[in-house]
Amino acid sequence: MKGYCGKILRINLDERKVVKEDLNMDWAKDYIGGRGLATKYFYEEVDPKVDAFSKDNKLIVATGPLSGTPTPTGGRYMVITKSPLTDTIASSNSGGRWGADLKFSGYDMIILEGKADKPVYIDIKDDVVEIRDAEHLWGQTTSKTMDLLAKDVGDKAKVLNIGPAGEKLSRIASVMNDMDRAAGRSGVGAVMGSKNVKAITVKGSSKPEVHDREQLKQVVSDANKKIKENGVTGEGLPTYGTAVLVNIINENGVFPTNNFQLATFDKAEEISGETLAEKYLVKRTGCYGCPIACGRHCKVDDLEAGGPEYETIWGYGADCGLSNMGNIIKANYWCNEMGMDTISASTTIAAAMELYQKGLITDQDLNGVPLEFGNDDAIIEWTKRMGLREGLGDKLAEGSYRLGEHFGAPEVSMSVKKQELPAYDPRGIQGQGLAYATSNRGGCHVRAYLISPEILGLPEKLDKFSIEGKPLWVKTYQDLTASIDSLGLCLFTSFALGAGEYAAMYNAAVGTNHSDESILESGDRIWNIERMFNMKSGLKKEDDTLPKRLLKEAIPDGPAKDKRSLLDQMLPEYYELRGWDENGVPTEDKMKSLNI
Ligand code: SF4
């Protein structure tokens, strides 16, 4: 099949051995690529009960069949492993240019096995793949690592790497690429660190062949037109970046503030996309092949850096009770330098602030840097300490759940399956609450972005307070998203495109014969194999839940005042729609029907 390179790099770090294998095309037909296909390999090869930091855990970096093709946003890659944060399957997604260059080198996927005896990096230039010494890189921040690597491999090579947080096995460490892009969630950077792999550099010279170039040109042109004409992808995201959401979400009364103790922030305007564009924006940036270009480059004082994104602004801003955009930009920069997930890092600081508010963390723990809601100086210093595991930063590096547990109050962790929730209070957006609770990788908005219909009215406006029909919406969004991630495209395209457009691009590039329905069926298969992995790793129905605060306490302020999550009323219908039993386990019939 075209679109794929048809090759995997299997790298055994114990033996320092590189093997080039043929891609399993039967599996590719069922699981597409990227997230889906890498999960199939992982499911077949790794014991679900493996400890995430054991050398028997594997780490797979995978592109999709549309990565590196002329499709809009076709430059993405996924990292699949067992998460040290959630103990579930981890599948973390990033843009930039690295993913496209892996395809240009001739590989769909890299499987890292075992553990190197000392720090290494992997250099890939087409056919030549080398495992090289990385002791000179170990301990360096992410940008310094990229600078040093440019001297080793040339500045045209694309770099994927970890920072000090990954080396120190922080459970919220990210994998960074192209300077400021991140496969951020679920601690995938710590797994890479546990294998003593600091970086993977790639430089490729040939673009993947496609099935029908003329047909692809036509369907890409149609898709780009829809992206341009859509209010979110054609105007909101390009003009203000993802931070366009700050005012919208705050006005809807679902903008978590002070670690979800409130749902509106009276200083939202100061941290809005509009303020960012007016006072700090230097330029817009875009990932490979992206017509949207939602990325930002901002400047404050003498620092110019990529970001920040909406979730980061919220986490370091409202969730910590802060409105100093300059400090948020700096904290985002340091989070990327340390190689940590900005959602988990910022919200773990917010949880620490609540522990301080409750008197469980005291001044003695703080080494002179207060952890109070609204203290502007705290976020930069605590981000650095967390990345380096200094003092109390050592506990913060474990994520908010384990931090809370250490102080006897895990309930301060606003997380699902121990992964921190993003920037939408699910008490006032019922479908999003169900999507959080059932996400296969723990608290997450990009496994099913119900904000689109429930807040933005795309593709149609739903009543955000109602539970009517929400289980089907969540399932459909989960399935579609799984397919988009597996194709190698950016989820943001789905504001403008539907299953039909994705099927058309897939068919033209690969030569398949997919319909809207079969794209969703592939997503259903991917969702179910992830679920089965999680069940075998020990997850239970009880893990499909939300933090107690969001189930038991009503929102105290703003337009969504008095709302609470009605998760329990939606879950049984969701399980039934999925074809799972009352304990949330996929039935044999369901597995058979999906050929799992
Ligand atoms: S929409 Fe934003 S995140 Fe997505 S590919 Fe484009 S620039 Fe990257």
DSSP calls for 354-381: HHHHTTSS-GGGTTT----TT-TTHHHH
pLDDT on residue 376: 86
**Which residue, among 252, 272, 283, 370, has the nearest Cα to 328 in the 3D structure?**
272
Pick the atom of ligand 1 nearest to 75's CA.
5
**From 230, 490, 497, mutation site for ligand 1 pocket: most ligand atoms within 8 A of C-beta:** 490
Q: Quick one: tokens of 587?
A: 């039935």
Residue 1 near residue 510, CB atoms below 8 Å: yes
* Cα–Cα dist 327/335, whole Å: 12
Q: Which residues of 31-62 are buried (b: 16+ CB within 10 A; e: fewer)?
A: bbbbbbbbbbbbbeebebebebbebebbbbbb
**Cα–ligand 1 centroid distance for 290 (angstroms):** 6
Closest C-alpha to ligand 1, atom 2: 294
Place 261 in a pLDDT band, splitting at 50, 70 and 90. Answer: very high
What pLDDT is stored for residue 314 in this prediction?
Answer: 98
**In this predicted structure, what is the pLDDT of residue 515?**
97
Q: Which of 441, 477, 444, 439 is nearest to 458 (CA)?
A: 477
- Tell me how far the alpha carbon of residue 241 lies from the centroid of ligand 1, in angstroms: 9
Cα 120 to middle of ligand 1, angstroms: 30
The CB of 286 under 6 Å from ligand 1? The reply is: yes
For the cut 90, the answer to whether the pLDDT of residue 38 exceeds it is yes
For a ligand 1 pocket test, name from 76, 309, 492, 495 the mutation site with the most ligand atoms within 8 angstroms of its C-beta.
492
Calpha distance 202→66 (Å, rounded): 18
CB 180 within 8 A of CB 306: yes
What residues contact 26, with CB distance under 8 A and at least 6 apart?
none
d(Cα 176, Cα 455) in Å, to the nearest integer? 30
In three-state secondary structure terms, 55 is: coil
Write down the pLDDT at residue 230.
96
Q: At what angle do helices 213-229 and 499-510 cross, to 10 degrees?
A: 160
The rounded percent of the chain whose pLDDT value lies above 90 is 99
Whether the predicted pLDDT of 570 surpasses 90: yes
* CB of 293 closer than 6 angstroms to any ligand 1 atom: yes
State CA 41 to chain mean position distance. Answer: 20
Average pLDDT over residues 315-342: 98
Confidence class of residue 332 from pLDDT cuts 50, 70 and 90?
very high
Compute, in angstroms, the gap from residue 95 CA to the centroid of ligand 1.
7
pLDDT band at 377 (very low <50, low <70, confident <90, very high): confident
Q: How many residues does the chain have?
A: 596
pLDDT of residue 360: 98
Question: At 127, is the pLDDT very low, low, confident or very high (cuts 50, 70, 90)?
Answer: very high
Q: For residue 240, report the distance from its CA to the centre of ligand 1, in Å.
A: 13
At residue 224's C-alpha, the angle toward residues 221 and 227, to 5°, is: 155
Q: From ligand 1's centre to the CA of 236, what distance in Å?
A: 13
Whole-angstrom distance, CA of residue 39 vs CA of residue 14: 23
pLDDT above 90 (res 590): yes
Query: Does 422 sit behind a cis peptide bond, omega within 30 degrees of 0 on the bond before it?
Result: no
Ligand 1 nearest atom to the CA of residue 288, by list position: 5
pLDDT at position 477, please?
Answer: 98
Q: What is the mean pLDDT of the chain?
A: 97
